[in-house]
């Protein structure tokens, strides 16, 4: 699936990743983002607006009509790829941003933090309240591998959130990490059937909650245009990716599900990004396109065999394009959500496993 690192560095896909990745030019005053040529990036928002005005489309792009409120655009070069610009109303975007931060990382759902800290309860709330994650006293002085063994054997938390005074009272004897730092280092969480990253397979024996009904219904509705009449998409698992400034998702395949005719339903939330889709090998030059908050991408059939990734997100005010989210998150009680999403992108990838 991945090949050697040396080979990957020379491929057409890697060259595209480097082209769009965020780099800085150092000046005496401050770091400045290096200018990047975006002239080849497909902009489905502009394409959709033009199509509504005069029914014209660029070469290689064609629409299909469905029960959704907006046309779905397809690429002649990538059968099974569907792009739905502005598929989610802004109110729905806000709902799933909030769920992605407050509910989806909750145990028994696993996150990238599990390997070191075990299950973390109420991470977003802890960050909002300026709490600190502290290693329990009986494990102070043990190293991470020893803590992992304890956790895996007994399945009890070895770390817990505390206020600043609780951290100070333990002095320097126990390790501690600010919850805000852990929130910013949250990279993924898993919903429904849990994915075992060490074995690259779904593990039905891991504890998990059922997928949220509302998310299942949304995925079913979005996936319908990719399926034969009468077939229904059954959401069984989801991977939620979290991106901050400078974060990327390298070229990869999503190839662990049994039936590739069923689509991956990919929902974009937050700051605008660039999505790459290539071919069956990294040697195929990928197409680049903007993905904005509320856009949905569907990948089924042959498109499931194509390398894809996210080399860039835009967090500056001019290019992030999240003014509608900022407006809805303007209440005092939503200030922590707003602060997070102003510099972040969230992607929810929903799958039918079996």
For residue range 27-40, list pLDDT tens digits in order.
Answer: 666 778 899 999 99
Residue with the bigger pLDDT between 200 and 336: it is 336
Is 60 exceeded by the pLDDT of residue 218?
Answer: yes
The sign of the torsion formed by the CA atoms of 94, 100, 101, 106 equals positive
Alpha-carbon distance of 161 to 246, in angstroms, equals 28
Percent with pLDDT over 90 in the chain: 73
In this prediction the pTM is 0.90
Is 90 exceeded by the pLDDT of residue 1?
Answer: no
Is 80 exceeded by the pLDDT of residue 14?
Answer: yes
| The token pair that represents 39 in the structure block | 């002239």
Is 80 exceeded by the pLDDT of residue 185?
Answer: yes
pLDDT band at 66 (very low <50, low <70, confident <90, very high): confident
Q: Confirm if 229 and 175 have CB atoms less than 8 A apart.
A: no
3-state secondary structure of 25: strand
Compute the chain's Rg from CA coordinates.
21
Q: What was the pLDDT predicted at 139?
A: 53
Q: What was the pLDDT predicted at 105?
A: 97
What letter does residue 78 receive in the DSSP assignment?
Answer: S
Give DSSP secondary structure letters for 283-317: TSPPEEEEE-TT-EEEE-GGGGGS-EEEEEE--SH
Is 80 exceeded by the pLDDT of residue 324?
Answer: yes
> Is 252 annotated in some ligand binding site?
yes
What is the rounded average pLDDT of the residues 309-331?
A: 96
Q: 293-310 burial by CB neighbour count: b if 16+ within 10 A, else e?
A: bbbbbbbbeebbbbbbbb
What's the residue count for the chain?
Answer: 354
């Amino acid at each position: 699936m991945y090949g050697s690192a040396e080979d990957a560095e020379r491929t057409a896909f890697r060259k595209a990743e480097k082209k769009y990745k965020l780099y800085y030019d150092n000046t005496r005053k401050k770091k400045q983002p290096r200018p990047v040529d975006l002239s080849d990036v497909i902009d489905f928002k502009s394409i959709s607006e033009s199509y509504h005005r005069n029914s014209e489309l660029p070469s290689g792009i064609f629409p299909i009509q469905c029960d959704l409120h907006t046309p779905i655009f397809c690429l002649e070069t990538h059968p099974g790829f569907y792009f739905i610009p502005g598929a989610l109303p802004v109110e729905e975007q806000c709902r799933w941003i909030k769920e992605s931060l407050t509910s989806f990382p909750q145990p028994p759902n696993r996150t990238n933090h599990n390997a070191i800290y075990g299950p973390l309860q109420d991470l977003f709330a802890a960050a909002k309240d300026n709490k600190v994650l502290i290693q329990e006293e009986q494990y102070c002085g043990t190293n991470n591998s020893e803590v992992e063994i304890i956790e895996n054997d007994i399945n009890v938390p070895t770390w817990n959130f505390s206020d600043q005074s609780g951290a100070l009272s333990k002095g320097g004897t126990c390790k501690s990490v600010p919850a805000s730092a852990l929130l910013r280092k949250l990279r993924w969480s898993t919903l429904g059937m849990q994915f075992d990253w060490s074995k690259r397979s779904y593990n039905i024996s891991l504890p998990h909650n059922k997928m949220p009904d509302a998310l299942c219904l949304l995925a079913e509705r979005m996936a319908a245009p990719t399926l034969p009449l009468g077939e229904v998409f059954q959401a069984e698992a989801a991977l939620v990716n979290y991106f901050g400034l400078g974060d990327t998702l390298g070229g990869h395949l999503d190839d662990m599900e049994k039936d590739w005719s069923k689509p991956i339903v990919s929902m974009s939330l937050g700051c605008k990004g660039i999505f790459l889709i290539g071919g069956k090998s990294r040697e195929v030059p990928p197409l680049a396109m903007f993905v904005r908050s509320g856009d949905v991408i569907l990948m089924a059939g042959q498109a499931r065999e194509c390398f894809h990734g996210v080399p860039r997100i835009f967090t500056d005010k001019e290019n992030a394009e999240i003014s509608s989210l900022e407006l809805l998150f303007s209440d005092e009680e939503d200030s922590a959500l707003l602060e997070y999403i102003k510099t972040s992108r969230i992607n929810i990838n929903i799958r039918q496993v079996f």
